[in-house]
Each structure stands twice: as C-alpha cells, then as structure tokens.
Amino acid sequence: MKRLIGLVLSLVLVGSLMASVGAAAKDEPIVIGLITALTGPTSLWGTQERNGALLRAEEINAAGGVLGRQIKFIAYDHKGSPAEGVNAYRKLVDQDRACVVLGTHFSNISLAIAPIAEQKRVPILGQPMEPKVTMPAPGKVNRYSFLAQPSCIEQGQMMARFALEELNAKTAAVLTDKANSYSTSQAEAFRDYFQAHGGTVVAYIEYAGGTVDFKAQLTQIKPKDPDVLYLPQYAQAGGMQVKQARELGIDAVILGSNSLSDPPFVNACGGIEVAKGVHFMFNVDFSDPRFASFLKNYEKRFGEPVVTYHTLFGYDDMTLAVTAIKNAGSTDPEKIRDAIENLKDVPILMGDGKFTMNPKTHRPVNMPSWVFRWEPDGTRKPIKLMYPAEL
C-alpha cells in the first residue's frame, strides 16, 4: 500500500511539474529573428529594416501579441558576408530558438543560408530577389525559403517593358556585375524581354565585382548611342556608373534597380545634379495617404524619418510572419512553414496592399512595383505602377 501511495504521489508530482513547464512555455515569448546589414555601406538599409520589424512587433505586442504570447524580436548583423549570414541563422535557430527568421535583402547571403534552412527546417522569409533562393532549379522549390517582393526576373522584365512602352525605347545597353546574382539575374531578364518584344540590345557588358572605374566598359557603350542604359546595381556601384557615364557624354535615359532608390545612390553620383532623371524600381509610393500613419509612427518611435523602402521590408515581413504563426496556431516551425506557403490576401503596406504567396514558387503572386524617377529637387517621383501579370 505504501508503495502504491508513493507511486501515486510521484505521478502527481510529475504531472504537476509537467503542467508547470507547459504553463511556463505558454508564457514564454515567441522568438522571431532578423538577419540584416547593421554595419558597413548598406547599414542604412539594415538599420531601418530592423526598426521597421521592431515597430511592427511592438504594435502587435501592444495589441495582445500572437497566440496569447508576446513577440521577442532579435536582430543580427550579417556584415555583408554569406558566412556571417549563415552563422546568424544558426545562432537564431540553435541558441535563440527562433521559430521563423526574417531576411535577408542580399541575394548572395540568402543563397548561402537556403541549404542550411533546408537542414534546420526553420523557415526564412525575406527580400532576396535572386530566383534561385526559392527555386534552385526549374520545378524544384526550397521548402524553407520564401520571397516577399517581386523577384529579379520580374523586376528586370518590368523595367524592360517600361522602357519599350513608356519611353518608346528601341535600343538598350546593359552593364552588369558578373559576380553578383542580384545584378546578373535582372540584367538577363531585361535583355531577354527587351529583345523578345522588339527592342535591340546594342551592348551587354559584364564587369568584375569590386570594379570602381567603369570607363573602359562605358567607352564601349558610348558609340552604340543606346536609347536607354540599364544598370541593375547596388547603390554605390550604380552611382559611380551614372557619374562616369555622364562624364563621358553618354546621354541615354538611365534605368536601374530598386537599390538606386535611396540617398546613398545620389551621394555616389556626386549629387542630385548627376542623379536627376535616373529611373528605378521602387516598392512603394510613400506619398500615398495609406502610409501617413506608418511614417508618423516610425518617426515618433525612432526620432528619424523613413528614407528607404527597406523599412517596409522589416515591417511587412513581421506582419507576414505573425500572420503565419496565427494561422498555424502553433510555434512549430514546420506548421509555420506550411502557413507561410499558403498566405493569401494578407494586408500589408508594400505593393498594392495585399500579399498572396505562390506555393509552387515561394514568391508573391502578382505583386507590383513602381517605376520612380529622381527629380532635380532631390525628390522621387512615381511614374508608373507595373504588375508582373501584365508582362
């Protein structure tokens, strides 16, 4: 009898202990991580991306959190290095126990993380435009990697269509960094679409990553006298290329990627006098009244204005991640992965305000981007909203 009573008491104690552990787990915050650039030449992008995600997490926590729990947001610096990006992902998953990771907006870093995410089975949702991040081969999808903006292919095609239809361009030249998939993927998409729809690419020139003097490449382009010059580059390289092209007397309309949308690009050009007239892809039109509250809340929280669309990367990605957790009804990364794959008509700020994930590509369905132009007064003017479905 004593043994029986002892056994019963032991079971009661174990049951009580397990219940207390379960209750504690329910009270613990849900960890969501971010991998971004917090130091180096693109730290403006990364810092505002982190702030955007933090602002959204704080808003959600103030409204009661998700699944009755608060969000614990942790951001790590990838330092512009694929190896550092992988280390940050491992730390978030293995040490911090993140159930979903946000980031990155660097394609080469996301390419390095993607196979690790397949091993760890914790989803990563971000803005890397390189198509191979989500689809390493035709018909094959990386199950744990997701893109939340139009891909390099879509953005390159949209800009080519803009050149043909809005600028009536007949000829184009393209300059691309052969070591950077962000650049080459857009360049190839622009070239192929432009030629397939009646245009002529008079020069398609690759250069080595790290190049700072582009006069040799631009000198090859000048005698071709293209109607448009397409520069799918990051801000620093793009700015130097625009500056040197104008110095050589190239008067083509210059088109570029969304990385040419922020002040660092204008600075690299040497000022707005050089940057004016450059067209670029841009994810949002901040002059739209629906952004007023977000812009005001951001400036109040961080004491600085929003200057880059990367702020919305963080903000919207946090919205999508929390929506997936809510839809999954769980912090199980596998269930969250399934929920991300099936996101539909989620209200966000970018694009046209709604987000749907394509489960076959892990990319957005029919998500538009703007073509903007740098104006002489230093402002960015929206020119046309382009939809991939129109291509």
Dig out the tokens for 227 from the structure. Answer: 């109607």
Residue 32 and residue 69 in one domain = yes
249 domain-assigned: yes
Per-residue pLDDT tens for 170-209?
Answer: 999 999 999 888 899 999 999 999 999 999 999 999 999 9
pTM score, two decimals? 0.85
Domain around 235: 153-282+371-390
> For position 7, what pLDDT does the model report?
43
Q: Is 367 left (phi over 0), alpha (psi -120 to 50) or beta?
A: beta
Question: Is the domain of 90 the same as that of 218?
Answer: no
Q: Are 129 and 236 members of one domain?
A: no
Once rounded to an integer, what is the mean pLDDT over residues 130-153?
A: 94
- Report pLDDT for 367: 94
pLDDT digits (tens, 9 = 90+) for 221-275: 999 999 999 999 999 999 999 999 999 999 999 999 999 998 999 999 999 999 9
pLDDT (0 to 100) of residue 27: 80
The pLDDT assigned to 372 comes to: 97
Per-residue pLDDT reduced to its tens digit, 379-389: 999 999 999 85
∠ CA 282-236-374, nearest 5°, is 40
Average pLDDT over residues 154-167: 97
The answer to the question of residue 114 being in a domain is yes
pLDDT at 63 over 50: yes
At 275, which CATH number? 3.40.50.2300
Average pLDDT of the chain is 92
Assess whether 320 and 385 both reside in one domain: no
Give yes or no: residues 209 and 259 share one domain: yes
List, for residues 6-22, the tens digit of each pLDDT value: 444 444 444 443 433 33
Please state, in angstroms and rounded to a whole number, the distance separating the CA atoms of residues 32 and 16. 30
Domain shared by 32 and 75, yes or no: yes
Task: Classify residue 325: in a domain, yes or no.
Answer: yes
Instruction: Give the pair of three-digit tokens for residue 174.
Output: 């393209």
**133 within domain boundaries:** yes
Looking at the structure, tell me whether residues 184 and 277 fall in a common domain.
yes
Q: Structurally, how many domains does the chain consist of?
A: 2
Integer Cα distance of 234 and 252 in angstroms: 20
- Residues 137 and 195 reside in one and the same domain: no
